[in-house]
Amino acid sequence: MVTLIFDQKATYLGELVTKSGALRHLVLTQAGEHVIGGYVSHWQTRGVPVFKGITKHGDDGANEFVSYREYISARDAAFLKAVHEWVVTHGSQAYDIGESILSMWERLLRLPLEPGERFRFLLAMMRTPAEQMSAWNELLEAGEKAYQVEHTKTQDAITKLKATASKHLLNAFEKEQTKV
């Protein structure tokens, strides 16, 4: 299972891969390192903190709720559930996605989109019936082609700019050398 993690502003923080609920591997983006990197380090060493509670019944009939923190190891089958609880508690979002969505998510990451746009596309894809997913593939393909054309034009313009600037600098340098 692949789980994508986002902050409250829909910025992509990273992904974790689990098998039967236990952690296989975890990758954070630069934003993820900044926002949750310290927490993730603790997850890997101590486990994910989960709050639990019990109700204690007193002899006088009064009930008292006692809460405590338990740590769920990354190797534990309950790890993924604990991460989901932690994410909600910390005001972030996590989504479990299937392989078909994962390949499209990876394509979205390569397009020049704002984090919120990319996030909304992901949510829309997740809610699309399986028989209509081919439409998303067609749209992504068209977007990738358009981006590649624009990217190539931009690279050509930058190369031309560098060549022109180099010529002007070389000419200016040669003029300086002849004066000396």
Indicate the average pLDDT of the chain: 90
Length of the chain: 180
The rounded distance, in Å, linking the Cα atoms of 16 and 24 is: 8
Q: Where are the alpha helices (DSSP H) in the chain?
A: 30-45, 79-89, 99-109, 115-126, 133-179
Q: What average pLDDT does the segment 105-127 reach?
A: 93
Q: 158: pLDDT confidence band, cut at 50, 70 and 90?
A: confident
Q: How confident is the model at residue 180 (pLDDT cuts 50, 70, 90)?
A: low
Decide: pTM greater than 0.85.
Answer: no
Question: Per residue in 130-156, pLDDT tens?
Answer: 899 999 999 999 988 988 888 788 788
Least confident of 9-18, 74-83, 86-95, 128-137: 128-137
pLDDT at 1: 93
Label residue 168 by pLDDT band (50, 70, 90).
Answer: low
Token reading at 102:
């994962």
Give residue-wise pLDDT tens across range 30-72: 999 999 999 999 999 999 999 988 888 888 888 888 888 999 9
